[in-house]
Amino acid sequence: MENAEMLKTVKAKAQMWLGEEFDIETRNSVKHMLEHDEKELIESFYKDLEFGTGGLRGIMGSGTNRMNIYTVGMATQGLCNYVKKEFSHVKQLKVAIAHDCRNNSRLFAETTAEIFAANGFKAYLFDSLRPTPELSFAIRHLGCQTGVVITASHNPKEYNGYKAYWDDGGQIIEPHDTNVIKEVEKIRSISEVKFTGGEKPEILGSEIDDIYTDKIKALSVNPEIIARQSDLKIVYTPIHGTGVKLVPDTLKKMGFKNVYNVPEQDITDGNFPTVKSPNPEESAALAMAIDKAIKVDADLVMATDPDADRVGIAVKDLTGCISLLNGNQTASLLIYYLISQWSAKGKLKGKEYICKTIVTTDLLNVIADDFKVQHFDVLTGFKYIADILKTYEGKLQFIGGGEESYGYLAGEFVRDKDAVMSCALIAEVTAWAKDQNKSLFDILIDIYLKYGYYKESLVNVVRKGKEGAEEIQKMMEGYRGNPPKSINGSKVVMVHDYLTSRSLDTTSGIESKIALPVSNVLQFLLEDGTKISVRPSGTEPKIKFYFSLNEKMNSRADFERVGNLLDSRIEGIKTDMKLI
């Protein structure tokens, strides 16, 4: 009976999409589902695609639960309405719009621009695909009140997405995110969306690229080293995405002469034909680039995701083989390089800081402490790093920051993770290493020798569907209501509960307040220095367990032994927590 009622409701919603306000292709698609594909009909209409705190993300197609010009249109109209209220004192409202390589991204971007224009905004639209961080830059550079990028990051090819930004160039956060959601939810009919009627959007081209990449070049700390090591061999792949032009162009502008591409993956294609997943966190996505690196004897391999805000890298390890680095290792190399070289150049004046997320390696903070640089920890999500930049703009100077999921940033002219910038700086760190007759891997071991070997691991426990969501909730309730006394033989000495904003010192029983927004995250700090973070994913049906361990290294010869020791402890933790 429940299914019969749902089908009745779904069919009623679908019938509304047969009206004249919908294009013929959409009407034919809905008609086909009504007559021949009940399963797809239900999937497409059983709910409305939710505008969440990060915007929209979903499978493309016809229906209320799909990414299409109508769901994009309703989201845009709601965003327009809210921005007009918040900036009622601004005579001419402005918006910048960009898009990635995905199927329909250009269509969704043009639709978004036209709706903003019809609502009285001065709309700026890039002439073709662009990296997400350039959109953040353009918002600030052009003095816009908001911005939108059409992207689904590294999701499968069937997906697309819509991310909204505020006037500071950062993704929308509280209170604006929840207020925008309320405005979007008020839009109940396509007839409420102003699709046409404004001035044509102004097209942005290479002039913005040049200003943006010039600013990235200005971040270089040691241009003289790049000049000496200009023959550094770099293999780069955009994995069919938006980094295809700007990353190689920026590397060349920095002074690097030997940038090798992977021709098959330079082809802009939303179907991502050469990879199973266009995610630089996955080794398979870098396979073709690594093959190329072996052939040309490259010093560095870099791969960016489709919207070029995250980068994965591979370098020669101690055996000379190409080895992947994880996000924490890359962040450590970048932060160590920037802070140490700012120090060497006399640029540290006591008002500098770095920023990272709470699940990113604490090695970054240890490095910062060594150089007496301030550091901030924020919730997971680069929008919170952007908020710190906004808070301390003009008061403190941001050196750099990052998150374990392969996103990094330096400077203050972009307010989101930036793979174009990161590629330029990672190449510079590699040149700096080579100038000392070292590899990037050698520098990483130098860092471990000085500060301790930090090793991180991540376990994703997937639980799909309604029952899965309930199981994840029960797991969190269990850890929260009855936190472990010890894990893998090491006493739990501190519990951070970001949902209740309370920290508990288990030895003294003293509680303290966490000065961060509320979030469903738990952290257990162990007596042996281990940190375990537990959080449900906000975008996927999974619960994530982050492990961070460290151990002192006495010599370079200790690297393998200590690494094996830490691996053994990680496996012990997984076993104790029943994750394997």
Q: At 1, is the pLDDT very low, low, confident or very high (cuts 50, 70, 90)?
A: very low
Give the pLDDT of residue 467.
80
pLDDT of residue 2: 58
pLDDT value, residue 52: 83
Q: Is 343 a catalytic residue?
A: no
Counted residue by residue, the chain has a size of 580
Pair (275, 398) in one structural domain: yes
State which residues form the domain around 529: 453-576
Q: Are residues 386 and 460 in the same domain?
A: no
Whether residue 562 sits in one domain with residue 431? no
Using 50, 70 and 90 to split pLDDT, how confident is the model at 541?
A: confident
Which range, of 7-16, 203-212, 260-269, 464-473, averages the lowest pLDDT? Answer: 464-473
User: Do both 560 and 427 map to the same domain?
Assistant: no
**If 0-12 CB within 10 Å is exposed, 13-18 middle and 19+ buried, where does residue 33 land?**
buried
Instruction: Give residue-wise pLDDT tens across range 260-269.
Output: 999 999 999 9
Catalytic residue among 153, 220, 405, 439: 153
Least confident of 107-121, 259-273, 462-476: 462-476
The verdict on residue 215 lying in a domain is no
| pLDDT > 50? residue 124 | yes
Per-residue pLDDT, averaged over 41-56, amounts to: 90
Are 430 and 305 in the same domain? Answer: yes
Query: pLDDT digit string (tens) for 345-360?
Result: 999 999 999 999 999 9
Q: Are residues 231 and 111 in the same domain?
A: no
* Lowest mean pLDDT segment, chosen from 175-184, 308-317, 384-393: 175-184
CATH number at residue 401: 3.40.120.10
| Domain total of the chain | 4
| Alpha-carbon span 38 to 42, nearest angstrom | 6
Same domain flag for 187 and 327: no
| 495-523: pLDDT as tens digits | 999 999 999 999 999 999 999 999 999 99
Q: Looking at the structure, do residues 3 and 100 belong to the same domain, yes or no?
A: no
Domain membership of residue 504 (yes or no) is: yes
pLDDT tens, residue by residue, 81-97: 999 999 999 999 999 99
Residue 219 lies in a domain: no
Q: How many CA atoms lie within 13 A of 56 on its CB side?
A: 33
Rounded to an integer, the average pLDDT of 384-410 is 97
381 and 432 housed in the same domain? yes
| Residues 161 and 138 occupy one common structural domain | yes
Residues 546-568, mean pLDDT to the nearest whole number: 96
Q: Is the per-residue pLDDT at 3 higher than 80?
A: no
CATH code, domain carrying 539: 3.30.310
Phi, psi dihedral angles at 94 (to 5 degrees): -135, 150
Q: Are residues 147 and 274 in the same domain?
A: no
* Domain-terminating residue out of 429, 451, 473: 451
Does residue 216 lie in a domain region?
no
SS (H, E, C) 34-95: HHHCHHHHHHHHCCCCCCECCEEEEEECCCCCCECHHHHHHHHHHHHHHHHHHCCCCCCCEE
Q: What is the pLDDT of residue 539?
A: 63
